[in-house]
Amino acid sequence: MAILSDQDIRKYLEMKKIIIEPLEDPDRQIQPSSVDLRIGSEFKGFRIIRQPCIDPLDPTDLESYMESFHIEQGSPFIIHPGEFALATTYETVELPDDLVARVEGRSSMGRLGITMHVTAGYIDPGFRGKITLEISNIGKMPVALYSGQRVCQIVFETMTSPSLKPYGHPDRDSKYMDQEKPVTSKIKQDYEIRDRRQSRLI
């Protein structure tokens, strides 16, 4: 696998092999081997609930554990130490079937104690949609985040061959295809969780 350089990123964008929309300031957003992405205006955070844990086998809808926030332009979303929130990129990204991508936090955010993805920084070939950001504040101070602020970067890597069943393929369980807003975990749709829940009902 090889990481695309800035000149290859530009070439793939011109060919529409990679789609990033809107890419409003390519001269500033395209870095030597990545593209800076901005945070959108929709956030999700956990409610304070009286549950001992989040259990994927519990029939409770996971959506009930979270609340949504829309942040107006110029207003901050404050993430406090120890807090976790979901957001999405402002940009929509579409990948071909022979490229994968990784989302990495920007150094300027990391130095404030803000991580932009907890585990899901990997984007499958064929993915299309806004990228979910799993934001944590591991620092000591609350930090303000503003819609349109550059908070992460996407890195593209070539594959040895095109994927036979890329993300979105009818035979794949592509739960987050075409997402436009932060989407709560769909872990209950994972086959091993679904099968176990069904066996409990038999």
Can you list the domains of the chain with their CATH numbers?
6-195 (2.70.40.10)
Indicate the pLDDT class of residue 120, thresholds 50, 70 and 90: low
Continuous H helices in the chain: 6-14, 26-29, 107-110, 191-201
Look up residue 159 and give its DSSP letter: -
Q: DSSP for 49-103?
A: ---S---TTS-S-GGGGEEEEEPPTTPEEEE-TT-EEEEEEEEEEE--TTEEEEE
At position 184, the amino acid (one-letter code) is T
- Rg over alpha carbons for the chain, rounded to the nearest Å, is 18
d(CA 164, CA 97): 8
Query: What's the pTM value of the predicted model, to 2 decimals?
Result: 0.86
Mean pLDDT of the chain: 89
Picking from 5, 18, 11, 170, the residue whose alpha carbon sits closest to that of residue 99 is: 18
User: What per-residue confidence (pLDDT) applies to 201?
Assistant: 57
User: What per-residue confidence (pLDDT) applies to 132?
Assistant: 93
Percentage with pLDDT > 70 across the chain: 96
Are 109 and 151 in contact by the 8 Å Cβ rule? The answer is yes
User: What per-residue confidence (pLDDT) applies to 2?
Assistant: 93
Picking from 88, 57, 100, the residue whose alpha carbon sits closest to that of residue 176 is: 88
User: What per-residue confidence (pLDDT) applies to 100?
Assistant: 96
Please check the confidence at residue 112 and state whether its pLDDT lies above 90.
yes
120-149 average pLDDT score: 93
**C-alpha distances in Å from residue 68, one per residue of 41, 44, 103, 124:** 11, 4, 23, 26
**C-alpha distances in Å from residue 99, one per residue of 17, 72, 117, 189, 190:** 9, 34, 20, 26, 24
Are 182 and 68 in contact by the 8 Å Cβ rule? The answer is yes
Active site residues: 134
Picking from 172, 166, 184, 179, the residue whose alpha carbon sits closest to that of residue 125 is: 166
Higher-scoring residue by pLDDT: 201, 185:
185
